[in-house]
Chains A and B, each alone.
Chain A
């Protein structure tokens, strides 16, 4: 698929040029990261387009890593056909299917399984899916067959039911994986006042990361004032993360560190807070992730500026904690980044 990416992107551009009715756009982003292990740079061009019943999004990209050389970052983010029949909407192909209500952690994001708390928002890479959806006045159903086309991931069926009840959105989720078997979840997002929203998500899974009978839960809120200050607060429990006993076991620690980069959470309990202010095109923000089990933490200070077509982001993330803390043992203890994005 990766080799086909430039061809698909070129096809998208050709279709754009040839057909005035094609809706198309995209962005070019130049990014430099300076972290403990060296300096990295990348240039990426995102192209998005829609022609009749086909939607496509592709990224052409190239990265440079100090001490590691060049990397091809090109990928097809989305390429799917969609249509309606008998009151249902159908889609087939690679598509982004994002579910759940949290910010720092989404236990019920059972199709996309998006990596959270990234330094910059990036266009996700969709999953190969067959999807059927039905939309009522205050409810919606979605059935998805996921084919990850990767030997390390499993085939799965997933379903979501959504219902609007007053100022709350209720979601119910189910997933049946070829290897990990079943999981059930419920989530709610409730606008409690003009300024505050409260959200919660719980999931029980037969298996996550090789662990059985796994509970996962998140509780959080967002608050936005008239002064355009926004606050997010969340706390979550991830039974799929290594336990305190696992980290205390000298025999398993090496394997856990090797696995850590693929985990959504390295500890079971997490607390997250983010404060941001939007004013006159500027958006300074500060967020803090705290893992109470070993008092390790990750703090990110960022500043964004949005112009007519250009967006500039700079920021610094510090990772640390007391001696012996999991995050403090990470080979990367700081990341500084700068990025410029031009939209077209």
Chain B
């Protein structure tokens, strides 16, 4: 009987510790999110520079992203080569509109991966909405202490199935990430650039290295952020064929 009680007590302690660690990991993930978005409803202007292996600029793309509450994002392509294209994400469901046909089209989660920086990279601004977190442990990231988290997709429509995320041990700012797709293949590696490395408040850039592209780098620059709730109709897929005034 005493043995059984001891076993139950140990199991209870282990469960409590696991629960506390899971809660800690979730809090850490949310803390890291705040460096990218600090509000539920935002308009974020994003510029993506793709560089060749020699460092020269290959392509530059501009996007306006409306990141709204409840897993809803609307991405408007603004560069000359893509102007008029729109992508809408409502939870696990995605639609694309091409300007030549003005016909909203259902797309699959993997179709989001097409392109140098996938639409998912542009529109997904909060890990805590899409992933569950687990704390792997404390490690060294260069000359600073960092915490290693494993994020596992909590929903089926996310771009990356698993993310290895390293954040600062003190201020919890994102430092780098390994991004894995469904097949557990390492698709991209990311490092994050903060406004002030010593006292970070905002993420200014995400630098992506595609594991399949030789030395090519994609820099996702967050040019501006402002609080903005868009009309509900804008988040209806059939509304994509309309041309709302954006300002």
Contact = CB atoms under 8 A, between A and B. Distances in A.
Interface of A: 21, 23, 25, 27, 48, 50, 52, 55, 82, 89, 96-101, 114, 121-124, 133, 135-138, 140, 142, 162, 164, 167, 169, 189, 191, 193-197, 199, 222-226, 228, 230, 278, 280-281, 306-309, 311, 343-344
Interface of B: 57-60, 79-81, 83-84, 90, 92-94, 98-103, 105-111, 113-116, 156-157, 181-183, 185, 187, 213, 216, 232-233, 236-239, 241-243, 245-247
Best-surrounded residue of B157, B243, B246 (most CB of chain A within 10 A): B243
Contacts of B247: 21
B106 A189 contact: yes
A195 to B, nearest CB: 5
A48 B99 contact: yes
Given A135-B236, A311-B81, A124 B101 contact: yes
15 contacts: A82-B242, A97-B241, A121-B100, A122-B100, A133-B242, A135-B236, A140-B237, A140-B239, A162-B238, A169-B237, A191-B93, A223-B108, A224-B110, A278-B114, A308-B81
Secondary structure class of chain B's binding surface, majority of residues: loop
Contact of B108 (A25, A99, A100, A195): A195
B238 A197 contact: no
Contacts, number: 131
B110 A225 contact: yes
A113 B74 CA distance: 28
B84 to A, nearest CB: 7
A55 B243 contact: yes
Contacts of A343: 79-81, 83
Nearest 4 pairs of A and B residues by beta carbon: A98-B103, A140-B238, A343-B80, A135-B236
Given A135-B236, A308-B60, A226 B181 contact: yes
Contacts of A306: 81
Nearest to B185: A226
B114 A228 contact: yes
Contacts of B98: 121
B208 to A, nearest CB: 14
Contacts of B115: 278
Contacts of A226: 110, 113, 181-183, 185, 187
Best-surrounded residue of B59, B99, B213, B247 (most CB of chain A within 10 A): B99
Contacts of B183: 226
A162 B238 CA distance: 8
A98 B101 contact: yes
B150 to A, nearest CB: 20
A52 B185 CA distance: 47
Given A50-B243, A226-B182, A191 B106 contact: yes
B93 A196 contact: no
Contact of B100 (A124, A189, A191): A124
A185 to B, nearest CB: 15
A142 B79 CA distance: 30
A192 B237 CA distance: 18
A307 B83 CA distance: 14
Contact of B182 (A100, A138, A194, A223): A194
A165 B200 CA distance: 43
